[in-house]
Structure 1
Amino acid sequence: MNSRVLRLLEFNKIKQQIQPYLATEMGRSTLAELMPSADADTVQLWLDQTKDGADLLRLKGGLPLAQLVGMDAPLHRLEIGANLNGPELAAIGRSLRVVSQITNFFRDLDDTIELRALPELAANLVNLPEQSQLLRRSIESDGSVLDTASSQLQSLRKTIHSQETEIRSRMDGYTRGSQAKYLSEPIVTIRNDRYVIPVRAEYRHQFGGIIHDQSASGQTVYVEPQSILEMNNKLRQVQLAEKQEIERILAELSAALAPYTNELRSNEYLLGQFDFINGKAKYAAQIRGTEPLVSTDNIVKLRQARHPLLDPRQVVSNDILIGDTYKTIVVTGPNTGGKTITLKTLGLIQLMAQSGLFIPTREESQVGIFHEIYADIGDEQSIEQNLSTFSSHMDNIINFLDPVDDRDLVLLDELGAGTDPQEGASLAIAILDYLGGTGAEVMASTHYPELKVYGYERPETINASMEFDVKTLKPTYRLLIGMPGRSNAFDISRRLGMPEAIVAAAKELMNGASQDLNDMISDLEAQRKQTETRGEELAQQLQEATALHDELKSAWTDFQKQKERLQATAQEKANQLVDQAQTEADQIIDELRQMRLNGAQSVKEDQLIAAKGQLNQLHQERSLKQNKVLQRAKRQQEIKVGDDVRVLSYGQVGVVTQKFSAHQYEVQMGIIKMKIAERELEKIKAPQPAAQRQIVTVRGGSDHHVSTQLDLRGQRYDEALANLDRYIDAALLAGYESVTIVHGKGTGAIRQGVQDYLKQNRRVKRYEYAPASAGGNGATLVFFK
Structure 2
Amino acid sequence: MNEKALNTLEFTKIKQLVKEYAASELGTKRINKMEPSTSFEEVVQLQDETDEAATVLRIKGGMPLGGIFDIRPHVKRTQIGGSLSPFELVKIASTIRASKTIRNFIEKLIDDEEISLPILENKKEAMAVLTHLEHLIYDAIDENGEILDSASADLRSIRQKIRSSESRIREKLESTIRSKNAQTMLSDAIITIRNDRYVIPVKQEYRGHYGGIVHDQSSSGQTVFVEPEAIVNFNNQLREQRLKEQEEIERILLELSLAVSAEAYDLLLTTDVLGDIDFMFSKAKYGRSIKATKPEVNDRGIIHLNKARHPLLPMEEAVANDIFLGEDFTAIVITGPNTGGKTVTLKTIGLCTLMAQAGLPLPVLDGSKIAVFESVWADIGDEQSIEQSLSTFSSHMVNIVKILQQADSGSLVLFDELGAGTDPQEGAALAISILDEVHSKGSRVVATTHYPELKAYGYNRDGVVNASVEFDVNTLSPTYRLLIGVPGRSNAFDISKRLGLGEHVIAHAKTFVGTDSKAVESMIASLETSRKSAEQDYEDAHDYLKDAQNLHKDMQKQMSEFWDKRDDMYEKARQKANSLVEQAKREAEEVLSDLRKLRLEKNADVKEHELIDARKRLEEAAPSPSAKNKKTAAKKPSSRVLEPGDEVQVLTFGQRGILLDKISEKEWSVQIGILKMKVEEKDLEFKKAEKKAEPKPLATVKGKEYHVGLELDLRGERFENALMKVDKYIDDALLAGYPRVSIIHGKGTGALRSGVQEKLKSHRSVKKVRLGESGEGGSGVTVVEFK
Interval containing the TM-score (normalised by the shorter chain): 0.7 to 0.9
> Which residue in the other structure is 1:127 paired with?
129
Alignment of 1:62-101 (within 5 A): 62-101=62-101
> Which residue in the other structure is 1:113 paired with?
115
Residue 234 of structure 1, CA deviation: 2.7
Residue 406 of structure 1, CA deviation: 0.3
> Which residue in the other structure is 2:413 paired with?
410
Q: Distance in 2 between matches of 1:69 and 1:420?
A: 59
1:147 to 146, 149, 153: 149
Alignment of 1:641-656 (within 5 A): none
Q: Distance in 2 between matches of 1:360 and 1:402?
A: 33
Can you list the C-alpha shifts for 1:656-701, whole angstroms capped at 9, x where unaligned? xxxx9789xxxxxxxxxxx9x999xxxxxxxxxxxxxxxxxxxxxx
Residue 71 of structure 1, CA deviation: 2.5
Q: Secondary structure at the match of 1:144?
A: coil
Larger radius of gyration: 1
Residue 315 of structure 1, CA deviation: 0.4
Q: Distance in 2 between matches of 1:9 and 1:514?
A: 35
Equivalent residues, number: 608
> Which residue in the other structure is 2:309 paired with?
306
C-alpha distance 167-616 of structure 1, shift in aligned 2 (>3 A): farther
> Does the 8 Å CA contact 2:306/2:366 hold for their aligned counterparts?
yes
> Does the 8 Å CA contact 2:75/2:260 hold for their aligned counterparts?
no
Higher mean C-alpha displacement, 168-177 vs 103-112: 168-177
> Does the 8 Å CA contact 1:174/1:180 hold for their aligned counterparts?
no
Can you list the C-alpha shifts for 1:1-50, whole angstroms capped at 9, x where unaligned? 00000000010100000112112222211111111111011111111111
> Which residue in the other structure is 2:201 paired with?
198
Q: Distance in 2 between matches of 1:462 and 1:176?
A: 100
Q: Secondary structure at the match of 2:36?
A: coil
Q: Distance in 1 between matches of 2:169 and 2:97?
A: 41
C-alpha distance 575-13 of structure 1, shift in aligned 2 (>3 A): farther
C-alpha distance 203-530 of structure 1, shift in aligned 2 (>3 A): same
Answering whether residue 448 of structure 2 is matched by residue 448 of structure 1, we say no
Residue 580 of structure 1, CA deviation: 9.5
Alignment of 1:686-705 (within 5 A): none
C-alpha distance 22-175 of structure 1, shift in aligned 2 (>3 A): farther
C-alpha distance 248-499 of structure 1, shift in aligned 2 (>3 A): same
Q: Give the TM-score taking structure 2 as reference length.
A: 0.73
Q: Distance in 2 between matches of 1:519 and 1:195?
A: 100
C-alpha distance 243-617 of structure 1, shift in aligned 2 (>3 A): farther
Answering whether residue 271 of structure 2 is matched by residue 272 of structure 1, we say no
C-alpha distance 623-159 of structure 1, shift in aligned 2 (>3 A): farther
> Which residue in the other structure is 2:38 paired with?
38
1:522 to 521, 525, 534: 525
Question: What is the letter of the counterpart of residue 515 of structure 2?
Answer: G
> Does the 8 Å CA contact 1:572/1:622 hold for their aligned counterparts?
no
Can you list the C-alpha shifts for 1:163-192, whole angstroms capped at 9, x where unaligned? 334433443334455314433333222211
> Does the 8 Å CA contact 1:49/1:116 hold for their aligned counterparts?
no
> Does the 8 Å CA contact 1:579/1:619 hold for their aligned counterparts?
no
Q: Distance in 2 between matches of 1:453 and 1:341?
A: 23
Q: Distance in 2 between matches of 1:199 and 1:352?
A: 73
Residue 425 of structure 1, CA deviation: 0.5
C-alpha distance 12-236 of structure 1, shift in aligned 2 (>3 A): same
Q: Secondary structure at the match of 1:108?
A: helix
> Which residue in the other structure is 2:28 paired with?
28
> Does the 8 Å CA contact 2:574/2:623 hold for their aligned counterparts?
no
Answering whether residue 464 of structure 2 is matched by residue 478 of structure 1, we say no
Question: What is the letter of the counterpart of residue 481 of structure 2?
Answer: R
Q: Distance in 1 between matches of 2:77 and 2:571?
A: 83
Q: Distance in 2 between matches of 1:562 and 1:217?
A: 104
Q: Distance in 1 between matches of 2:246 and 2:458?
A: 82
Higher mean C-alpha displacement, 327-336 vs 179-188: 179-188
Answering whether residue 253 of structure 2 is matched by residue 250 of structure 1, we say yes
> Does the 8 Å CA contact 1:45/1:117 hold for their aligned counterparts?
no
Answering whether residue 390 of structure 2 is matched by residue 387 of structure 1, we say yes
Q: Distance in 2 between matches of 1:580 and 1:259?
A: 93
Can you list the C-alpha shifts for 1:723-751, whole angstroms capped at 9, x where unaligned? xxxxxxxxxxxxxxxxxxxxxxxxxxxxx
Can you list the C-alpha shifts for 1:711-731, whole angstroms capped at 9, x where unaligned? xxxxxxxxxxxxxxxxxxxxx
Answering whether residue 403 of structure 2 is matched by residue 400 of structure 1, we say yes
Q: Distance in 2 between matches of 1:360 and 1:301?
A: 13
> Does the 8 Å CA contact 1:197/1:223 hold for their aligned counterparts?
yes
Q: Distance in 2 between matches of 1:200 and 1:618?
A: 123
C-alpha distance 208-530 of structure 1, shift in aligned 2 (>3 A): same
Answering whether residue 318 of structure 2 is matched by residue 315 of structure 1, we say yes
Structure 1's unaligned 5+ residue stretches are: 585-610, 626-659, 664-674, 680-785
Higher mean C-alpha displacement, 279-288 vs 121-130: 121-130
Alignment of 1:724-739 (within 5 A): none
Question: What is the letter of the counterpart of residue 150 of structure 1?
Answer: S
C-alpha distance 177-54 of structure 1, shift in aligned 2 (>3 A): farther
Residue 136 of structure 1, CA deviation: 1.9
Alignment of 1:537-552 (within 5 A): 537-552=540-555
Question: How large is the RMSD of aligned CA atoms in angstroms?
Answer: 3.0
Residue 621 of structure 1, CA deviation: 8.7
Residue 252 of structure 1, CA deviation: 1.0
Q: Secondary structure at the match of 2:338?
A: coil
> Does the 8 Å CA contact 2:97/2:134 hold for their aligned counterparts?
yes
Higher mean C-alpha displacement, 477-486 vs 234-243: 234-243
Residue 101 of structure 1, CA deviation: 1.8
> Which residue in the other structure is 1:161 paired with?
163
1:330 to 324, 327, 333: 333
Q: Secondary structure at the match of 1:196?
A: strand
2:466 to 463, 466, 475: 463
Can you list the C-alpha shifts for 1:142-171, whole angstroms capped at 9, x where unaligned? 322222211222232233334334433443
C-alpha distance 240-485 of structure 1, shift in aligned 2 (>3 A): same
> Which residue in the other structure is 2:232 paired with?
229
Residue 201 of structure 1, CA deviation: 2.2
Alignment of 1:517-666 (within 5 A): 517-573=520-576
Answering whether residue 7 of structure 2 is matched by residue 7 of structure 1, we say yes
Q: Secondary structure at the match of 1:536?
A: helix
Q: Distance in 1 between matches of 2:151 and 2:622?
A: 84
Question: What is the letter of the counterpart of residue 394 of structure 1?
Answer: M
C-alpha distance 264-580 of structure 1, shift in aligned 2 (>3 A): farther
Q: Secondary structure at the match of 2:447?
A: strand
Q: Distance in 2 between matches of 1:578 and 1:27?
A: 82
Residue 449 of structure 1, CA deviation: 1.0
Structure 2's unaligned 5+ residue stretches are: 588-614, 630-664, 669-679, 685-787
Identity across matched positions, percent = 46
Higher mean C-alpha displacement, 124-133 vs 29-38: 124-133
Question: What is the letter of the counterpart of residue 155 of structure 2?
Answer: L
Q: Distance in 1 between matches of 2:246 and 2:135?
A: 23
Residue 106 of structure 1, CA deviation: 2.4
Answering whether residue 424 of structure 2 is matched by residue 421 of structure 1, we say yes
> Does the 8 Å CA contact 1:406/1:440 hold for their aligned counterparts?
yes
Residue 618 of structure 1, CA deviation: 7.7
> Which residue in the other structure is 1:761 paired with?
none
Residue 622 of structure 1, CA deviation: 9.4
2:350 to 347, 352, 362: 347
Higher mean C-alpha displacement, 460-469 vs 502-511: 502-511
Answering whether residue 516 of structure 2 is matched by residue 513 of structure 1, we say yes
Q: Distance in 2 between matches of 1:473 and 1:381?
A: 31
Higher mean C-alpha displacement, 77-86 vs 150-159: 150-159
> Does the 8 Å CA contact 2:214/2:224 hold for their aligned counterparts?
yes
> Does the 8 Å CA contact 2:110/2:117 hold for their aligned counterparts?
no
Residue 572 of structure 1, CA deviation: 4.7
Residue 495 of structure 1, CA deviation: 0.2
